[in-house]
Amino acid sequence: MKARVWIKLVLAIAVISMSGCEKKGATVKKPEAKTEAKEIRQMSANKESFGKTPDGKQVDLYTLTNTSGIRARITSFGAILVSLEVPDRDGNLADITLGFDKLDGYLGVHPYFGAIVGRYANRIGKAAFKLDGVEYKLAANNDVNHLHGGIKGFDKVVWRLEDLGVKGAGAVVKLSYISEDGEEGYPGNLACSVTYTLTEDDKLEISYEAETDKKTVLNLTNHSYFNLAGQGTGNILGHELMINADKYTVVDEGLIPTGENRSVKGTPMDFTKPMTIGSRIGQVEGGYDHNYVLKSGGGTLALAAKVYEPTSGRVMEIHTDQPGVQFYTGNFLDGSVTGKAGKVYQKNYGFCLETQHFPDSPNKPDFPSVVLFPGQLYSTETVFQFYFFIK
Ligand code: GLA
């Protein structure tokens, strides 16, 4: 027991020093659930059935747990993060992601709740791009533009289980998918995998790998909608957000970047210092749905964003090696979707911070390149770190 307390203390100190937390007067604490499960909490990785697709394919649900009581559920359909339960400052668990209890919800049309998005996260202008002079035409599934990989993107396919278990300090599930040459209009047979790792120090790591046999473009992300007070409990306007970016990519009316990266300084886009999401959202037409140009420039794991929810005390930090993050405030949620536990999702009931390459990069030679060559390994990582502030 004593040893356990020491481990928690050391981890708490590690979290504090790691996070570079600047919140005045706040004590940082590692999450610890006070549930029935306290005695039996352990690292685990389990599998159960989540049902079948209409064409009869088996779909699984994987549950990863750690000793703080954090529990992540992932399904092989769309490699979707179905739920993420995290303790608050009093040890009460809440599911902090929007989505559905059952596979049926994910089989229908939905706004990419928890999904792995591919081959290309966000938009490609006029649903086309050129590589070596050859034009590739994609589905125009967002007006004239291409959005989130097309009609049947990576969020709508069944992934194959590659690995499931507790490895070192993490509970791991690794899923793979082979996207055939020409799928949704993209060139090259693409073999890709996504690995979710829930660590003992309260991180959910999502890492992606891919290889192609023909020059292609690729931009993978996870499209989770978060509400750190608990899914379906209300809007996210009271969350405090910091985004580690002093520029964003300006877009036209179709949300395609114009090519200009504009300073956030003195505008409602500025989250360089923590601000509540709702403080200036009324000044942003339609709400936030913008790609931020991260200060890190991508390439190495760096702090992209940090979110604090005052009533629960939950804090989520996002670290990524990607050059951008799409901040989206669930502007298109309108009460038409009933999600987990019968909750109705209204406008701004969730926020997304989708780590990514910039939208329309295949048509923007000045943006960081999204081209993947045969023989090259696509390998990226995003880490969600959880802890909380005591009042
Ligand atoms: C992204 C886009 C939004 C919207 C959502 C899904 O975040 O930027 O415009 O398409 O996905 O509804």
pLDDT surpassing 80 at residue 135: yes
Global confidence as pTM? 0.93
Q: What is the pLDDT of residue 169?
A: 83
Q: Considering 32, 184, 211, 354, which one is annotated as catalytic?
A: 354
Instruction: Name the burial class of residue 324, with classes exposed (0-12), middle (13-18) and buried (19+) by CB atoms within 10 angstroms of its CB.
Output: buried
The residues pairing with 257 across neighbouring beta strands, listed in sequence order, are 251
Is 354 a residue of the active site? yes
Q: What is the pLDDT of residue 30?
A: 82
pLDDT surpassing 70 at residue 1: no
Q: What is the pLDDT of residue 25?
A: 62
Please tell me whether residue 179 adopts helix, strand or coil conformation.
strand
Q: Using an 8 Å Cβ cutoff, are 332 and 352 in contact?
A: no
Mutation test residue for ligand 1: of 122, 145, 253, 292, the one with most atoms within 8 Å of CB: 122
In total, the chain counts a number of residues equal to 391
User: What is the DSSP secondary-structure string of 272-341?
Assistant: SS-EEGGGSGGGSTTS-EEEEEETT-SSS-EEEEEEE-TTT-EEEEEEESSSEEEEE--TT--S-EE-GG
Q: Judge if the beta carbon of residue 326 lies within 6 A of ligand 1.
A: yes
- For residues 351 and 97, what is the distance between their CA atoms, to the nearest angstrom? 9
pLDDT surpassing 80 at residue 28: yes
Q: Considering 223, 239, 290, 357, which one is annotated as catalytic?
A: 223
- For residues 113 and 335, what is the distance between their CA atoms, to the nearest angstrom? 15
pLDDT tens-digit readout, 153-200: 999 999 999 999 999 889 999 999 999 999 999 999 999 999 999 999
Confidence band for 40, pLDDT divided at 50, 70 and 90: low
Which residue, by CA, sits nearest to atom 9 of ligand 1? Answer: 289
The residues pairing with 45 across neighbouring beta strands, listed in sequence order, are 64
What is the whole-number distance in angstroms between the Cα of residue 246 and the centre of ligand 1?
A: 22
Closest ligand 1 atom to 148 CA: 11
What percentage of the chain reaches a pLDDT higher than 90? 88
pLDDT surpassing 60 at residue 54: yes
